[in-house]
Structure 1
Amino acid sequence: MVHSLKVKGIVISLGLLLPGFWVMGQQKKENIYHKGWTDLNKNGKEDIYENPNEPVAKRVQNLLSQMNLTEKACQLTTLYGYHAVLKDPLPTPEWKHEIWSNGIANIDEQLTGWRNDMEYALPYSKHAEEINEIQKFFIEDTRLGIPVDFTNEGIAGLKAAKATSFPREIGQGCTFDKPLIHAIGVVEGKEARALGFTNVYAPEMDVATDARWGRVESCYSSSPYLNGQLGDAMVEGMQLQGIASTLKHFAVYSIPIGGRDGGVRTHPMVAPREMREIYLEPFREVFETAHPMGVMASYNDYDGVPVIASKWFMDTLLRKTYGFNGYVVSDSRAVEYVWEKHHVAPDYEDAIRQCLEAGLNVRTDFTKATDYIDPLIDAVRKGKIPMSVINKRVAEVLSVKFRLGLFDHPYVKDPAAANSIVHDKTSQELSLRAAEESIVLLKNESLPGQENKLLPLNPSDIKTVAVIGPNADEIKSMRSGYGPADFDVVTTYQGIKNALPGARVLYAEGIQHVDPHFPESDVENFPLTDEEKNSIDSAVNIAKQSDVVVMVLGDNNKTVGESHSRVSLDLPGHQTELLQAVAATGKPVVLVLINGRPLSINWAAQHIPAIVEAWYPGETTGTAIADVLFGKYNPGGKLAQPVPKSAGQEILTFPYDPGDEGSGRARVTGFLYPFGYGLSYTTFKYSDLKITPSDPKAGKDITVSFSVTNTGNVKGDAVPQLYTHQETSDVITYVKKLRGFERITLNPGETKNVTFTITPRDLSIYDKEMKFREEPGTYIAEIGSSSEDIELQQKFEVK
C-alpha cells in the first residue's frame, strides 16, 4: 500500500521514502516551534495532527495518512536503552542513518543507573535534560516528528538512580492499605515525569498462588480481590501524574507448571473457570476501573496457544470485554518465542503476523530494532500481513502518545525541578511508612518465667545486642532490578545501632545465604564445611555476650526473583542450623525475615519466641525493623499470601475450594500462617454487625457495617476483613472470598465504625454454562482479623 503527500507542490511517494530521507523545502529546526503548536512534519503549516484542539482520533488518522511503511513499522517496536541495545547515551550524527531516524515506539530503561551509566543518570536534572535531548532528535530530526514514549520499570519504586525505593509488591500487599498504595503510585508517577519517563511498567498484577515460583516477590497477593483493589490504587496514583501505567503480565503468567520459572513459563495448570475467577480477575478489575494505558503481554501459553498470539486473550477478552484502549507491549522476546520455543509458527515472519493480528502493538527484545522491523516490512510487502492490521496497531500506539500529551508537550518543562522532586523528604517519609506498614508480626510470646511478651524490646534493658545473619548487614539483595538503582539502604544492623546509641551492638554474618551445593541442597542434605562451622561458632560467641539476639535471615538474589524458583520453601542453605545454634545459647532470640516468598519456618515457629516478617522493605529497611522491634511503631501488616508448612503442599493458597487445605491420614494439613494473619502489640474487639437491607434483592448492593475497638494500651492498626461464602451453589465455590478490607488506626479505647459494600458482582460466579451471574440463595458474611480468625458472622439471603 503506497501513500502520498503533497508538500509545496511536490507529490512524494511515502512508501518509497528511505530511512533518514528529508523532504525538500522543509523548514529549519528553530522555526518549527509556534505558539500553541509545533510544525512536527516541517511543512510550514499546521496539520490536523499538530493541532492540540482536534480530537485524538482525528489527529491519529491524519498522522497515519502521512506515514510510510518504515515509519509505521518503527512505531511497533522498542529500542532498549544505553548499554542494552543503544550504543550511545545521547544522539550522534550517526543516528540520522539508523532505523530510528524514522521514529520509534518507545525507548526502554534509558540511563537508569543500572548499566554502568551512572554518569548520565545523576544529578536528576541532568537526566531530564538528556531525555529532552533525545526527544529533541525525534521531534526535530525525523520527518514527521513523532515523539518517543520513554518507558521504564517500577515494581518497587521507579527504576532510576537513587529514586525513592519502596517495599517489593509482596510487602506492599501486606499493608492492606489502598491510600498508601495510591500515594506510592503518585510518587512513582511524579518522579518518572520529572526525569522524563512517560510510561512505567507497573504494577505487576499476577496472582501469587505458588510460593515456589521465583517472582512471587513482585506480586501483591494470592487474593484476586486484594490484587485488584491495590492495582486500582497504584494505577490511579501513577496516571494522575500524566504518565501511562502498563500492567504486567497478561495473562495466566504466574502459575507455570510446578512453579518452575524459566524458559517461557509454559503450561499453566489452571482450568478455564479458575483462570477467570483468580488469574484474570485483577486485570479485569483494573482495566474497567483504573483504565491503564498499557499492558504487557506475557510469553507463556494457555492450553497450547501462546497468549501473545491469541486473538481471544489479546482482543476478545482484553479490548472487547475489558474495554482496554491503550497499547500492548510484549514481554521481552515473546514474539520470537512463538516461533523459537512454542513452535506454532513456521518462521519469524509468521510469528510476527500471528502476534500483530491477535492484538500486539509493540515488540520488545534486547536485540537491534531492525531484527524485528526488517522481517515485519518484508511480511507486509509479501502480503502476509495486511496493511489494515499495521494501521490499526500503529493507530493504537499513536493514540496513547496523543493522550499523554507527547505531541503537544514532548519535553520535560523544567529539568532543574527534578532535583527537588525525586527522592524528596515527603517521598522518603512515605517510603518509611510503607516499610513499617508492610511488616507482619508472626509470633510474639513471653519468655519462660516472664509476664510480658518479648516484643517490643525495651531499649533501656539492653546493654549488648547481637545482630546475626546473612541479611543483617546486606545491601545488594535489598535492590531489585525492577526498582531504583544505587539507592542508600539502612540495613537492620545499622538501624539497630541508630536506635540504640548507648548500647553495644555486635554483628556476625553467621552463615552465607546459600551453601556451596545450592540449589542441590534444597533436595539433599550436605554437611557443614569447616568454614561454615567456624562462622557459626563466631556468631554463637557474640550471642553469648548479648542480652538479646536479633537473627536476620531469608533470601537473596540467588534464591528468589525472576528465574529463581525453588523446590523447597525452607530457609535456604544452612540458615536453620545457624538459628538453632544461636537459640541453643539460651539467649532471647528475635527472628527477622527479609525475603521474597513465604518460607516454611516450621522449626522457628515452634522454638523462637518472636518472629517478624519484613519481606524486602526498601531503602528504610533497618529503620522500619528497628521501629517495630523497639516499639516506636506497632506492626499491623497482614499476610497477603498464606504460608504453607511445606513445598510438598503446593499449590496451597487462598482462596481455596472445600477440602483443598487437606485432611485425612498421612498428610501435613493446613497453613503454617493463614491469609490475612498478623499480630499487634495491642488488642481489638469487633462488635455490632449489621447487614442492610435485611431482605437483599438480587442485583442490588448490600451494606455490611460493624465497630472495631482498640481494647489494649497502645495505639495500633487493625485490618478488618470481610469474607463471603455461598452455602449452596451451581458449581463448587471457594470456602471464603475476600470482599472488603480497610486499614484503620485506633488509639487505646477508641472505637471506629467500618462499612463495606457487597456488590452483585461480588456474589456472582461462572455457572455450569460459564455464564457470570449472581445466584439467589443463602450467603454468610464473616468479619475477621484474618481468614481463620473470624470475629463476627451473619447469614443473609439473596432473593
Structure 2
Amino acid sequence: MYAQVKRLISQMTLEEKIAQLNAVPIEDLLDDSGEQLSEEKLEELLSNGIGQITRVAGGLGDPSKVDTSPKHAAELANAIQKYLKEKTRLGIPAIVHEECLSGFMADGATVFPQAIGLASTWDAEAIEAMAGVIRQQMKAAGAHQGLSPVLDVARDPRWGRVEETFGEDPYLVASMAVSYVRGLQGQDLTKGIFATLKHFAGHSFSEGGRNCAPVHVGERELWDIFLFPFEAAVREANAKSVMNAYHDIDGVPCAASRELLTDILRGHFGFDGIVVSDYDAIDRLRKAHFTAGNKKEAAVQALEAGIDIELPKMDCYGQPLMDAVKEGMISEATINESVERVLTAKFELGLFDGVYVDVDSVPGLFETPEQREMSRDIARKSIVLLKNDNVLPLSKDIKSIAVIGPNADNARNMLGDYAFMAHRSYDKTSVHIVTVLEGIKNKVLDSCRITYAKGCDIIDPSTDGFVEAVNAARAADAAIVVVGDNSGIFGKGTSGENDDRTDITLPGVQMQLVKAIKDTGKPVIVVLINGRAFAAKELADNASALMEAWYPGEEGGNAVADVLFGDYNPAGRLPISLPCEVGQIPINYNLKPASYINYLSTETKPAFAFGYGMSYTTFGYSDLSITPAVAPSAGKVDISFKVTNAGQLAGDEVVQLYIRDEVSSIVRPVKELKGFKRVNLQPGETKEITFTLYADQLAFHDKDMRLVVEPGTFKIMVGSSSDDIRLEGSFEIDGQKREVMAERRFFADVVIQ
C-alpha cells in the first residue's frame, strides 16, 4: 500500500494533490430539484478528483420535496464515484462522510437515543452493538466516514452541545467512545466506517458555556481530563479520523495548533489517520480568530498545524492554497504529507478495490424490526429514575390518566440535534417516531381513559392551555407531565449546537405548568425529554416521581411507557450531575478538595449526583476484598465484592468503582471513577464482581508534566453512585515514583461470577 500511495503521488499534478484535500457538498452537485446530478457541475467540481463528498444522505434536502431515501443516496454516491473513476485522469475515489451521532443522519435510518442518553446506559457493549448497526446502514448508502463520536467532557450545562456528549467524567466518556469507535469501524476497515473523534480538544470547557468561545484550561487539566478520552480512543480502538475544535486555548486556535494536531495527536498518541476540519474552521482563522489576514494564510496555518482535509467544501484549501504554494508560502512537500495520509485512508477503506454499493439491497438494511427493537432497548436502558414516592410503576389497569405537556406528543422533540429531522429542521420523516402519548396508549388497557392536554409550548410564555391541563389532571387518577427541551442547531432549539443558555431551568412556563398540576393534589409523574442537565431541585420538589429520558429516539415513547408501567425496571445512571441552580456550575462530582465550601444560600451538593439512578428493586453490597494490600507501581489490584438483589423484581445494578489518592504531590480530585459494570440480577440472586485495577489508571501529570504513578495510599469506594458508596477499603502502592510510558492501561477489567 505504501508503494502504491507513493507512486500515485508521483503521478499527480499540484492541482490534483490539492483536490485530494478538499470536499464538495452534495448540494453543489444537485440541480434545483435535488433529483439528478448535473454533468456540468460534475465537470466543474470533480474534474481533478476530490478528496471527500459531504453528506450524500444527510444533505439531500427537504423530504417532502425530493427523494431523500438511503437508496437514492446510494445511487448518488455510485454516480459520483463512477464519474471520478472513469472521467478523471487518475480515477481516485472519494471518501463520503456523514453524520452519525445518534444513528446515521439520513431519512429512513434508525434513530437511537442522543449521546447523553447513550452514556446514561452505562453499557459499553450495547453502544458497540448499536454502532455496528450504524456502520451497516452507512456502508449500504455508500458512506465511508462518520463524524462521531463526540469526546468532549461536559462540565457546563449552559453549553447547548452537552446533549452530544457522554457526560462529565473522562473515564466514562473514554469507555463509551472506545466502544462506539470499535462498533463503527469494525474489525475489518474495508468493511467499516472511519470514526471521527471530536472536537479536539477541550471544546466543552468554553468561556461562559458559549459554543466556540475561548477555553481557559491549565495544561495539566487539559491532559488529565480533556485529552484522556482521545488518547484512549486512538490507542485502544485505533480511531482513524479526528476533527479539530473551533476555539482557541490560551490564544492559539485549535485549527492552527501544531502542538495539538501534530505533536500531541500524532507524536504522543501515535495517531496515524486523517485530521479533518470542523465545518468552516479554517476560514474562521481569518474571520473569527484574526490570526490570518486572508484565506491563503488561513490555509497555510491549518495545513502546517496538521489538518489534512477541509470540510465541508473547497474554500481555503482550494485556489487560496494553490496560490500559497505558488507564492512560496508553503512547500509542496507539506502538501504531499497530507495527500499521502488521505490516499492511505482510501486504501485502508478498500476504495480502490471496489467503491460501488448494491443499490437494490439498501431498503432491506434499514429500519428492520431488530433495529427498532435495539433502539427501544437502548432507550429503556438510558432512562434514569430520579425520584419515586411509591407511585411507580403504574398499574396497567389504571382507570384514567392525564398526559400533559409540550413534549408529550411531539415526535421531533424525541430526537437530538444531529438526527435528520432536528438537524434539517423538518417536521416529517419516513421513520415513525413514537411519542410518549402514543407509547402510553400502546401500553394500557382499552378501558383506560387517556386525556391529552398540551398545556403550554416549550418557550412561548402563554399559559392559555393551563386550564385544560389542570382540568384533565383533576379528572384523572394520575398525571404524566412531559416537559423539557426541543433540540436544534443555530438558535432553532433550546438545546443543541449554538443553542447555549444562561438559564438551565425548564424553558418558558413549563415549571409553572408542573406546579399547577401538582396543586391538583393528584400524583404527578414528570418525564423529562431534554438535552442539557437541568437545575433539578425545584422539579423534584414538585413531582411525585421524576424520570430523565433525555432525547430517547424513535422508540422513546414505548421505552418510557415500558418503565412507567413496570415492564422494564429502570437502571440508567446520570452521566452528568444535575445542579440545584445555575450558580453552582461547575458541579461535577470529581472536584478538588477545596471546592466544597458552601455558598451563603446554597450548598455545593448537586440535586442529583453523577452516577445516580433508582430502581424498582433494591441491591445490597457485601464482602469487599482487596488483593494484594500492597502492590508495585507497575502492578495491579483485584477488588472483589458481592451484589445481591434484595427485592422482588429482576433488575440491573450499575456497580461503580471510585478511588482517591490520599496524599499526592499535586492536588487530586476527591473521587475518580475507575471502573463500572451494568449487572443483571434476579430476585434474591447474588453475584461476585471483580475489578482488576491497574496501577497505570492511577497516573497523573506531576509538577514536571510527567505522567507518573506515585507511591502511597489509595482509598477504594464501591457503590451505586458517586454519592452512594456502600463499601470502602484501601491499598498501598509501594516503591518509587514510576513514569508511565506511551503504552498504558486505560480501563479496569471486570469479571462477574
User: What is the TM-score normalised by the length of structure 2?
Assistant: 0.93
- Of 277, 283, 294, which residue of structure 2 is paired with 1:336? 283
Question: Radius of gyration: which is bigger?
Answer: 1
Alignment of 1:109-128 (within 5 A): 109-112=55-58, 115-116=61-62, 121=67, 123-128=69-74
Query: What SS does the aligned partner of 1:296 have?
Result: strand
Partner of residue 325, structure 1: 272
1:577 CA drift (Å): 0.7
Runs of 5+ unmatched residues, structure 1: 1-55, 446-452, 517-531
Counterpart of 1:459 in structure 2 is 396
What is residue 536 of structure 2 aligned with on the other side?
A: 601
Alignment of structure 1 residues 37-436 onto 2, 5 Å:
56-82=1-27, 90-95=36-41, 97-112=43-58, 115-116=61-62, 121=67, 123-240=69-186, 241-261=191-211, 265-365=212-312, 369=314, 372-412=317-357, 414-436=358-380
Q: CA deviation at 1:280?
A: 1.0
Match of 2:475 in 1: 545
Cα distance, 1:97 vs structure 2 = 3.2
Alpha-carbon distance, 1:347 to partner: 2.1
Please report how far the alpha carbon of residue 777 of structure 1 lies from its aligned counterpart in structure 2 after TM superposition: 0.2
* Matched residue, 1:508: 453
SS at match of 2:464: helix
**198 and 434 in structure 1: CA distance in 2 versus 1, 3 angstrom threshold:** same
Q: Secondary structure at the match of 2:403?
A: strand
2:673 is aligned with 1:673: no
CA distance in 1, matches of 2:65, 2:509: 40
How far the C-alpha of 1:515 sits from its partner, in A, is 2.7
C-alpha offsets along residues 483-513 of structure 1, whole Å, 9 cap, x if unaligned? 2442321100111111114111110110111
**How is 1:480-499 mapped onto 2 (pairs within 5 angstroms)?**
480-485=416-421, 486=429, 487-499=431-443
Task: Tell me by how many angstroms 1:479 deviates.
Answer: 3.3
**CA offsets 1:466-496 (integer angstroms, 9 cap, x no match):** 0000100012222344224423211001111
**Equivalent pair of 1:107/1:151 in contact (CA under 8 Å):** yes
What amino acid sits opposite 1:415 in the alignment?
V
Q: Give the secondary structure class of the aligned counterpart of 1:781.
A: strand
SS of alignment partner, residue 705 of structure 1: strand
Q: How does 1:395-794 map to 2 (within 5 A)?
A: 395-412=340-357, 414-445=358-389, 453-460=390-397, 462-485=398-421, 486=429, 487-502=431-446, 503-516=448-461, 532-557=462-487, 558-663=493-598, 665-794=600-729
Contact 2:628–2:731 (8 Å) recurs in 1: no
- Partner deviation per Cα, 1:237-281 (whole Å, 9 max, x = no partner): 1101411111111111111101012xxx12212111111111111
Q: What secondary structure, in the 3-state scheme, does the structure 1 residue paired with 2:533 have?
A: coil
Cα distance in 2, alignment partners of residues 671 and 322 from structure 1: 35
Q: For residue 737 of structure 2, what is the aligned residue in structure 1?
A: none
| Coordinate RMSD, CA, aligned | 1.6
The verdict on how the C-alpha distance between 1:421 and 1:330 changes in structure 2, with shifts beyond 3 A counting, is same
Question: What CA deviation, in whole Å up to 9, does each residue of 1:89-145 have, x standing for no partner?
Answer: 544321453132111111111133762256765554343233212211111111111
Shift of 1:172: 0.5
Relative to structure 1, the CA distance from residue 84 to residue 436 in structure 2 (aligned partners, 3 Å threshold; closer, same or farther) is: farther
Q: Secondary structure at the match of 2:573?
A: coil
Q: Judging changes above 3 Å, is the alpha-carbon distance between structure 1 residues 655 and 84 closer, same or farther for their aligned structure 2 residues? A: farther
CA distance in 2: counterparts of 1:207 and 1:729, whole angstroms:
24
Q: Does the Cα contact within 8 Å between 2:163 and 2:416 map onto a contact in 1?
A: no
- In structure 2, what is the Cα distance between the partners aligned to 1:260 and 1:444? 34
Contact kept, 8 Å, 1:118 with 1:161, in 2: the verdict is no
Output the amino acid matched with 2:652. Answer: D
Question: Could you tell me whether the CA contact under 8 Å between 1:113 and 1:121 is conserved in 2?
Answer: no
Q: Partners of 1:456 and 1:705 in 2: how far apart?
A: 33
2:248–2:254 contact (8 Å) kept in structure 1: yes
Rounded to whole Å, the distance in 2 between the matches of 1:266 and 1:105 is: 30
> Are residues 154 and 123 of structure 1, via their aligned partners in 2, closer, same or farther at CA, if it must alter by over 3 Å?
closer
Question: For residue 411 of structure 2, what is the amino acid of its counterpart?
Answer: I
* Distance apart, 1:395 and its partner CA: 0.6
Amino acid at match of 2:117: G
1:310 aligned partner, one-letter code = S
Query: Aligned-pair distance for 1:681?
Result: 0.2
| 1:164–1:423 contact (8 Å) kept in structure 2 | yes
Structure 2: give runs of 5+ residues left out of the alignment. Answer: 422-428, 488-492, 735-753
Larger mean CA deviation between 648-657 and 153-162 belongs to: 648-657
1:535 and 1:684 map into 2 onto residues whose CA distance is 42
Tell me which amino acid in the other structure corresponds to 1:398: L
The count of aligned residue pairs is 715
Alignment correspondent of 1:520: none
Is the 1:205–1:248 Cα contact (8 Å) retained in structure 2? Answer: yes
Query: Amino acid of the residue matched to residue 264 of structure 2?
Result: L
Letter in 2 for 1:97: E
Superposed CA deviations along residues 632-670 of structure 1, whole A, max 9, x for unmatched, are 000000000000111111122132111324426444321
> What is the CA–CA distance in structure 1 between the aligned matches of 2:469 and 2:177, rounded to whole Å?
42
